[in-house]
Amino acid sequence: MHISERLPRESSRDYALRIIKDNIISLHLEPGCQISENELATEMGLSRTPVREALIELAKVKIIETYPQRKSVVALIDYDLVDESRFMRDVLECAIVEQVCELAVPADLQALEENVRLQKFYLDNYDPENLMWLDNKFHENLFRIARKSQIHSLIQNISIHFDRVRSMSLVSVESQQAAVRDHTEITRQICAGNAELARQQMETHLNRYKFDAVKLQAEFPQYFKRPLTPAKEPDGENKF
């Protein structure tokens, strides 16, 4: 498990929640693996109480399954929950990107362009971990520019179902390239003030995971709750 430093003024419970979530998304805690409150607490240098509180919070959104006698398991990937998470982001972020076109000031546009520039750098140097971090920051910045940062914070737990699949997809260079192209085009349309085109590109971006679902399950069958049927790719194109 990857343990990062505790942030200034971060509570023990929030620290435990962040670390466990990050490790589930990155697959350091794999789908189906059993986890122990004691072991997690020891690794993070915490008591069991904040770890237990974090696991209870994650169980509420069905990413952790808890059984009698304190056995907890990282849930297998359920595409119903992935799609529900994606639907929520689709509704919110397509609206957010339209507001960004209205509210962004030059400094905001520069921040988006710098983020995309760094994405291209890490794409060229094959660094999926930093690409994932920059991808997350790109979307977080959109909420900040639209003055909806609190909404971004509130959706983080349910987003974990979608983010786990994104993390798996971004191991592929082809998927990395598609994601960076999407962010580049979204930024271009925002800078031009084209709200409708920015929205359309965001919708395309958030739906790309559908065309990689069967491929991911074929490669990692042990991670998935049940078999999937292939998604039809528009116009015969590979959308990842």
CB atoms < 10 A from the CB of 45, how many?
10
pLDDT of residue 173: 85
What is the mean predicted confidence (pLDDT) over 23-27? 92
The amino acid at residue 149 is S
The β-bridge relationship of strands 71-74 and 64-67 is antiparallel
Contact at 8 Å (CB) between 23 and 132? Answer: no
pLDDT bracket for residue 239 (50, 70, 90): very low
Say if residue 240's pLDDT is above 50. Answer: no
Average pLDDT of the chain, as a whole number: 89
pLDDT tops 60 at residue 40: yes
Q: Are 190 and 100 in contact (CB under 8 A)?
A: yes
Alpha carbon separation from 7 to 10, 14, 37, 110 (Å, rounded):
5, 10, 21, 26
* CA proximity to 209, closest of 150, 153, 167, 152: 167
Task: Give the pTM.
Answer: 0.82
Rounded distance, CA 17 to CA 57, Å? 8
Binning pLDDT at 50, 70 and 90, where does residue 70 land? low
Taking a C-beta distance cutoff of 8 angstroms, is the pair 71, 65 a contact? no
160 within 8 A of 63, measured Cβ to Cβ: yes
Q: Which of 109 and 168 is assigned the larger pLDDT?
A: 109
Dihedral angle, C-alpha 148, 149, 152, 154, nearest 10 °: -100
More confident residue, 233 or 93: 93
| Confidence category of residue 167, pLDDT binned at 50, 70, 90 | confident
What pLDDT digit, counting tens, does each position of 183-238 carry?
999 999 999 999 999 999 999 998 887 767 778 888 888 999 876 655 554 443 44
Sign of CA dihedral 21, 222, 162, 64: negative
pLDDT for position 238? 40
CB neighbours of 238 closer than 8 A, spacing ≥ 6?
A: 174, 211
Give me the helices (H) in the chain, please.
12-25, 37-44, 48-60, 79-103, 106-124, 128-145, 149-154, 156-169, 173-192, 195-207, 213-219
| The pLDDT of residue 229 | 56
Q: Which of helix, strand or coil describes residue 16?
A: helix
pLDDT, position 134: 95
Alpha-carbon gap, residue 214 to 98, rounded angstroms: 32
